[in-house]
Amino acid sequence: MKNIDEQIAKTQAQINQLTNKKKRLISEQKQAERKKRTKRLIERGAILESVINNAENFSNEQLQTLLIEIFSSEFAKGKIKNFREHTASEGNPLF
């Protein structure tokens, strides 16, 4: 009986270790995803500021309104569709 109880305790300790390792790995994965998203947002913000002169003088709401206005036009929708199709046909889907 003592041997079985020791095995159960040892197995439970291993389960606890693996559970903690799983939690740590999930946490690391989430942190890596957050860093990747943050980097993407910074890069895209830099692209936006490089394209729009004096973009720093616009409020976030003004920039949002401007982008919505621009990208809701039929011309922009057509360009986006063509760009998506072009990149997808190259094996490099954009969206």
pLDDT at 94: 55
Whether residues 4 and 44 fall in one domain: yes
For residues 9 and 41, membership in a common domain is answered with yes
- Does 82 share its domain with 49? no
Question: Is residue 91 pLDDT above 80, yes or no?
Answer: no
The range of the structural domain enclosing residue 8 comes to: 1-55
Per-residue confidence (pLDDT) for residue 30, from 0 to 100: 98
Query: How many domains, the chain?
Result: 2
67 and 47 both lie in a single domain = no
User: DSSP assignment of 67-82, as one string?
Assistant: HHHHHTSHHHHHHHHH
pLDDT at 85 over 90: no
Query: In whole angstroms, what separates CA 71 from the centre of its chain?
Result: 22
Give the chain's mean pLDDT: 91
Tell me: pLDDT of 95 over 60: no
Q: Are residues 13 and 31 in the same domain?
A: yes
Tens digit of each residue's pLDDT (9 = 90 or more) over 13-58:
999 999 999 999 999 999 999 999 999 999 999 999 999 999 999 9
- Alpha-carbon span 36 to 39, nearest angstrom: 5
Phi/psi at 94 (5° precision): -80, -40
Indicate if 73 and 93 belong to the same structural domain.
Answer: yes
Residue 8 confidence (pLDDT): 96
Same domain, 26 and 68: no
The pLDDT score that the predictor gives to residue 34 is 98
